[in-house]
Amino acid sequence: MLTASSTAHLLRATAARLLRYRAAMLLVLLHLWLAAPAIAEPLQVGPAARYLLGPSTYHLVDPRGFLGIANVVHPDVAAAFRPSLAETPNFGFTRAAVWLRTELLNTHDASARWILEVGYPLLDQVDLYVVRASGATRMQRGGDTLPFAQRAAAARHINFELELPPGEPVTLYLRVRSGSSVQMPLVLWEKHEFYAADREEQLVLGLYYGVLVAMLAFSTMVYFSTRSRAYLFYVGYLVCYALLQLSLNGLAFQYLWPRHPLLNEIATTFFVGTTCAFAVQFSRSFLDLARHSRVLDRASLGAIAASIGVALAAPAFPYGDVIQAATGVGLVGSVVILCSAVVCLLKKEKQALYLTLAWTIFLVAIVVFSLKTMNVLPTNFFTQNAMQFGSALEAVMLGFALTHRYKLLMEESGRLQAEAAANLEAQVRRRTAELNQALQQLSTANASLEDLSQRDPLTRARNRLYLTRRFEALAGRIEPLSLLLLDIDHFKRINDLNGHGAGDACLHHLCDVVGHTLRGGSDELVRWGGEEFAVLLPGTTSEDARTIGERLRIAIETAPAQVGDRRIAFTVSVGVASAAPDTAVTLSTLVAQADAALYGAKHGGRNRVCTGLGLPLRDAAPHPPALELQSGPPA
């Protein structure tokens, strides 16, 4: 609860604040009253369809925004209004609230409906008070902080609908407060004339944006044709600049985001930053600036960073602060681009000429528009639309620049194609010779790999893969076919007594003996596995196969293997299988018959040859004892 002392303290503080407020108001009113001129006669509104209200207005600057309509209609404050001498009242960037007053008198016979147009769409808050002679007051709100649908007429500029009864003076009070430049191009329109003028204006703007869209389409196609990054940056610049202009002239708020005033406020400063960043990067890439001037290249990078900073600051900081920074960044970026173009032009870079002209025109337009925004230059048709005029001419000049650059690229491409055509035949011959050599080497390597894939890695004899393919090649034979299976008798004993190295040596020795004993030609020795070998005998009958098998058995028995300083004698058992001419037989069947015969030879005492029926050809001599050898590496 409040005590008596705290209540008294609160009352004293409140009274002190009220005294300070009244004293400040009295000082402001006294200052304004001393500087006030005489009040002019009302503007007479007759049969004309359009009236410029700027020269007929009076203004009052309220630094803290304390004054309301009840204050400004008071005779003491009303006398403090000062005349606006300019056709378009412009107060630049200010945080103060600005009051404008004008008096109208309809001298026409009939009552008419009028539209009061405020021709600067970026104003945040515009409140209109219509005060009649009777003292009745009607208020209308406007500005880009309100949804677009709340406007009296669906037009890009802020507007209000008025009714002026004949013979009755009406006083209009406009209270304006905005983070943007406060400029007030006021026009009073007859309603139908306003809509007709708006349609004509949009047609002109449509032609302007048509130029931008044409340049955008051309640059996009050239980019996809050449893949030059300069064209990509120019496309980005055109897109951002078009959106910036749509935001500045109110068309973006009218057609793109009419329900989002906050987005409309952010868009202008955001697109100022992105437009400047793309423009500087385009000129940097287009002129190859890093090759011509490191200082200007670094200045360009600084301008790009500042522009991106402005774009990122748009949603985070007050519009008034960001737009002033964006205006400065735009001026700096334009100067950097122009200096870069001039430096490259002095170094006789052909494409720099068009860029210099384009950016000179656009820089002049930006400077004019910026000075108008800062209230250094008066607001008129030329200064208000300076950026549109300058950007249209700039787009045309940059189109010439890009076309010239494209021509240079095509000339360079033609020169390179001519050089390539001159060297093409020699290159083809050289590459063809290299390819033939590579193909020959590849063929040799493939043959070598093919041979390796069909040989046993230990004995270098043919392997099962070779036997399979060879047998397939003999599938359409019209002659007998025989197969021998040879198995070293007691091979495990040789390995156990002499070592696996000696066993490997015996395998090699067997291959050598068989190779020298065979008839040659189409007879093939194949290592079937382990100590077992196969001999394929095309065109050989069963009787001839038994003879060859016996010859091999005797040759192996009578030729011991020399292993170091020792000799190892061993024998083999042989199984014979044969197929008559024109007999359908598979390799597995023939191997099975030969294996059965080999089993018969083993069962009959080893060191002998048996046919497919398992009958021995002759008894073998007893197996000689194996000599003891030093063991070697395993097989």
Say if residue 271's pLDDT is above 70.
yes
Average pLDDT over the chain, rounded to an integer: 81
Q: What are phi and psi of 159, to 5 degrees?
A: -150, 160
Say if residue 405's pLDDT is above 70.
no
Domain boundaries, the chain: 35-197, 228-410, 464-610
Percent of the chain with pLDDT over 90: 27
pLDDT at 597: 93
Say if residue 341's pLDDT is above 60.
yes
Name the band, by pLDDT with cuts 50, 70 and 90, for residue 616: very low
Over residues 162-176, the mean pLDDT reads 91
Say if residue 535's pLDDT is above 80.
yes
Any residues with CB less than 8 A from the CB of 347 and at least 6 apart, and which?
Answer: 292
DSSP label at 95? Answer: S
Any residues with CB less than 8 A from the CB of 273 and at least 6 apart, and which?
Answer: 307, 308, 309, 310, 311, 312, 313, 314, 326, 329
Beta pairing, strands 125-132 & 169-177: antiparallel
CA atoms within 13 A on the CB side of 501: 10
Any residues with CB less than 8 A from the CB of 155 and at least 6 apart, and which?
Answer: 117, 194, 195, 198, 254
- CA dist., res. 12 & res. 4, Å (int): 12
- CA dist., res. 578 & res. 612, Å (int): 8
Looking at 77-91, 185-199, 392-406, which range is the least confident one? Answer: 392-406
Over residues 534-540, the mean pLDDT reads 89
Say if residue 102's pLDDT is above 70.
yes
* C-alpha separations of 364 from 90, 359, 385, 428, 502 in Å: 21, 8, 12, 57, 101
pLDDT at 409: 65
Over residues 397-424, the mean pLDDT reads 71
Q: What is the CATH number of domain 35-197?
A: 2.60.40.2380
pLDDT at 3: 42
Name the band, by pLDDT with cuts 50, 70 and 90, for residue 93: confident
Name the band, by pLDDT with cuts 50, 70 and 90, for residue 620: very low
Any residues with CB less than 8 A from the CB of 361 and at least 6 apart, and which?
Answer: 390, 393, 394, 397
pLDDT at 8: 43
Q: Which residue has the higher pLDDT, 366 or 231?
A: 231
Say if residue 626's pLDDT is above 70.
no
Over residues 316-343, the mean pLDDT reads 86
- CA dist., res. 484 & res. 575, Å (int): 6
> What does the H/E/C string look like for 418-450?
HHHHHHHHHHHHHHHHHHHHHHHHHHHHHHHHH
Percent of the chain with pLDDT over 70: 85
pLDDT at 365: 79
Looking at 225-239, 331-345, 616-630, which range is the least confident one? Answer: 616-630
Question: What pLDDT, in 10s, does the model give residues 232-256?
Answer: 898 898 899 899 989 988 999 999 9
pLDDT at 613: 53
Say if residue 19's pLDDT is above 60.
no
Say if residue 4's pLDDT is above 50.
no
E-only strand ranges, 237-313: none
Over residues 340-361, the mean pLDDT reads 79
Over residues 440-457, the mean pLDDT reads 80
With beta carbons less than 8 A apart as the criterion, state whether 573 and 616 touch. Answer: no
| Domain 464-610: CATH architecture, name and number where available | 2-Layer Sandwich (3.30)
With beta carbons less than 8 A apart as the criterion, state whether 83 and 144 touch. Answer: no
Tokens of 533: 């070998």
pTM, to two decimals: 0.57
- CA dist., res. 588 & res. 430, Å (int): 52
- CA dist., res. 101 & res. 176, Å (int): 11
Over residues 145-157, the mean pLDDT reads 91
Any residues with CB less than 8 A from the CB of 216 and at least 6 apart, and which?
Answer: 235, 238, 239, 242
Say if residue 9's pLDDT is above 80.
no
Long-range contacts of 20-23 (CB under 8 A, 24+ apart): 21/66
Say if residue 24's pLDDT is above 70.
no
- CA dist., res. 525 & res. 592, Å (int): 18
Name the band, by pLDDT with cuts 50, 70 and 90, for residue 406: low
